[in-house]
Amino acid sequence: MDIGVTIRNMGPESTADMVVACAREAEDQGIESLWITDHIAIPPNDAEGSGGRYLDTLTTLAWLGGATRRIKLGSGVLILPYRPMLPTAKQIATIQELTKNRLVLGIGIGWMDPEFKALGIDRHQRGRITDDTLQFLNECFAKDEVSLNEQSFLFKPRPQKPPILIGGNAPQALHRAARYADGWIPMARDPQQLQTKITTYQKLTDDLGKPRGNITVMTSLPLNEPDNARRLLAEYEKLGADRLVCNLRYHNADVYRDQLKKLTDVSNR
């Protein structure tokens, strides 16, 4: 099971120096992947913990790609209905090209009403918009010439398609992951939350005649309780998780380094 970590692209920890220092430290300690989250327009009454400060997800991943050499770069998750299809596809392809295929694209449909309102997007259409965009992304990475709005054009550069993982625990998310994507990226507090849903996801991919995709679990681990953390890692792996992304809490690069050391100690069990 691969081990990834979160890095804060929000709040006071999202300075240029701290983001790069943490990313390079994770790479140096052999972590498989880095993951950041996505918000565009945080309302004042929902800004606790971030102060409303969020670095743009795709821009930050591109910047981290230039600051690192090997570590994979993940969106956990990119809210697809916030973004226009073609410019977003171009950004994704560019990041994948320039990072030499290190992007892992976690996708979500969003939930925060004020963000949809600020963007002028009908929240009730987010599922349809996401499905349409996923279908378009798959087409873009499948052939050089694609069509949108009755206009054909060349989609280049066309690197290897990044793995697309669908976030969410709702039934619709599992169906979307099986139909359009290469895997599923749920959030979980403990392994028991996932057992039934992993079985459901496996059945959905079987029914479509597709291999079961990558399962990437986003969770927290009690790193100050190493035996308990090892037990949880083993349980997630036994359930069939292919990757575990550990949410790290920190306020400076030294604390981040210490959390990474504890994580590598328990994951090298």
77: part of which helix (H) or strand (E)?
A: strand 72-79
- Report which secondary-structure segment, H or E, holds 63: helix 57-67
| Residue 269, pLDDT score | 62
Average pLDDT over residues 232-246: 97
Residue 238 identity: K
**φ, ψ (nearest 5 deg) of residue 169:** -110, -5
**What is residue 217's three-state secondary structure?**
strand
Mean pLDDT of all residues in 150-155? 98
Q: How many CB atoms lie within 10 A of CB 78?
A: 23
Residue 37 CA to residue 241 CA, distance in Å, equals: 20
Start-to-end C-alpha separation, the chain: 12
* SS3 track for 84-123: CHHHHHHHHHHHHHHCCCCEEEEEECCCCHHHHHHHCCCH
CA angle 245, 31, 184 (to 5 degrees): 30
Q: Tell me what the mean pLDDT of segment 197-217 comes to.
A: 96
Question: How buried is 209 (Cβ within 10 angstroms: 0-12 exposed, 13-18 middle, 19+ buried)?
Answer: exposed
> Tens of pLDDT along 167-206?
999 999 999 999 999 999 999 999 998 999 999 999 999 9
Mean predicted confidence (pLDDT) in 66-80:
98
Residue 106: per-residue pLDDT? 98
Question: Residue 56: which CATH number?
Answer: 3.20.20.30
What is the span of the domain harbouring residue 8?
A: 2-267
Tell how far CA 247 is from the center of its chain: 12
Contact 205, 212 (CB under 8 A): yes
**Structural domains counted in the chain:** 1
Q: Do residues 55 and 10 make contact, with C-beta atoms less than 8 angstroms apart?
A: yes
State the amino acid at position 153 in one-letter form.
Answer: F
Rounded Cα distance, 95 and 182, in Å? 18
The predicted-structure confidence for 5-47, as pLDDT tens digits, reads as follows 999 999 999 999 999 999 999 999 999 999 999 999 999 999 9
What does 158-214 look like in DSSP terms, one character per residue? --PPPPEEEE-SSHHHHHHHHHH-SEEE-B-SSGGGTHHHHHHHHHHHHHTT----E
CB 56 within 8 A of CB 95: no
Counting residues of the chain whose pLDDT is more than 90, the rounded percentage is 99
Q: What are phi and psi of 80, to 5 degrees?
A: -65, -40
